[in-house]
Amino acid sequence: MMVRKIIEEWKPFADKNLYILTVDEIIPLVTGEIYNFYRIDGKVYKPVPMSPSLSGTKCISVKGEGGFVGKTVEFVKDTDEINERIAV
């Protein structure tokens, strides 16, 4: 399981629940692994599609309530790894 620390969050659009999160290390998408969920502070989030210019760098996008900075994000491949209810 891949884990990264969230170092920044920002709201780029009028959607009050959409956040772009910057993590501390590059997210290696070249491995061909697909991550269907993110687990942050015990809550599970579905990825939100974002601009290709941000995808595959150090950014992910989720809908939530904010307060993500300093927390750890776990990249989850499938529902078998999830025991919690999906947030948002």
Residue ranges in 7-85 assigned as alpha helix (H): none
- Domain assignment present for residue 7? The answer is yes
- Domain assignment present for residue 86? The answer is no
Report pTM. Answer: 0.81
Using alpha carbons, select from 16, 76, 11 the residue that is nearest to residue 40: 76
Q: What percent of the chain has pLDDT over 70?
A: 77
CATH for 7? 2.40.30
How many domains does the chain divide into?
A: 1
Q: Which of 4-8, 22-26, 62-66, 77-81 has the lowest mean pLDDT?
A: 77-81
HSE-CB at 3 with a 13 A cutoff on CA atoms is 6
C-beta atoms surrounding 64 within 10 Å:
19
Q: What is the pLDDT of residue 14?
A: 77
Q: What is the pLDDT of residues 61-77, one digit of tens each?
A: 999 999 999 999 999 88
Q: What is the pLDDT of residue 22?
A: 94
